[in-house]
Amino acid sequence: MTRARATLIGFTAVLLWALLALFTIGSAPVPAFQLNAICFAIGGGIGLIWTLATGQMAALRRVPARVYLFGTAGLFGYHFLYFTAFRIAPSAETGLIAYLWPLFIVLLSGLLPGERLSVAHILGALIAFGGAALIVLGREGGEANALGLALAFGCAVTWAVYSVASRRLGQVPTVAVTVYCLATALLSLLSHALLEETRWPETGLGWAATLALGVGPVGLAFFTWDIGMKKGDIQLLGVASYAAPLLSTLALVLAGIAPPSLLLLVAALLIAGGAALAAWASARKNQA
């Protein structure tokens, strides 16, 4: 697989995550960890079907237990910290700190063997972060507090470390994400039993939104992201990830849930500009 193709596959995860907010709203009133358990079970089930269909069960048995622990810690750890942060501090500031992970991916990628991080990559990430900040800070929310903000920072670091470290596990087949998803579903179910009251979707549309979440943003996205992180342009994918909050808001606008605004246009220009700068830097790096 070429680097360009892997990068494109990885970006499909960003496109799928753009639908996360829309489908999550549609799945109400299901609480967060219960929804997480359902969706990761669906995503893991899809991965299991793929594994069986491609005859890769033997490959799963060869993956070391420490890799499964790492992958599960990344997926479950990120979501646990994210949901807990917003439970404690449901504020725009919490969302903004949680969205530091693409910037951290760009910065941490410079530690990988064979990767060169340029000033243009960092500048592109900062410009794109500025665009995302306009969107996130424009949302309504509750009060921020130190613990909630610290948990949000922890979730950003967790996802960045998981993503960048996946590059070092290039020999591990992507079907291993199946086990990450199933283990995350189990841990989410335990968290739900301890922290939440069980509630189910109340309409057919709610069930459809829940199923769509499990198939796409909380399912296939983690498999395609794994491919992008292992074989694609990690700096470009990091910067391009800032398109997720923009595309997410646009999806809400198209669905009539959020109003359009000039802020969205400015944010789009900043994110597109940052991504273009990162793409230019990557092209120069590849030509060098």
Residue type, 158: T
What integer is the mean pLDDT of 85-95?
A: 82
Residues near 14 by Cβ (< 8 Å), separated by ≥ 6? 237, 240, 241, 243, 244, 247
**Cα distance between residue 237 and residue 68, in whole Å:** 24
Question: How many CA atoms are closer than 13 Å to the CA of 134, on its beta-carbon side?
Answer: 19
pTM, whole model, 2 decimals?
0.90
Q: Report whether pLDDT(91) > 80.
A: no
Could you report the per-residue pLDDT of 149-161, keeping only the tens digit for each? 899 999 999 999 9
Q: Reduced to 3 states, what is the DSSP secondary structure of residue 4? A: helix
Q: Report whether pLDDT(269) > 90.
A: no
Residue pair 167/112 in contact by the 8 Å Cβ criterion? yes
Could you report the per-residue pLDDT of 13-25, keeping only the tens digit for each? 999 999 988 899 8
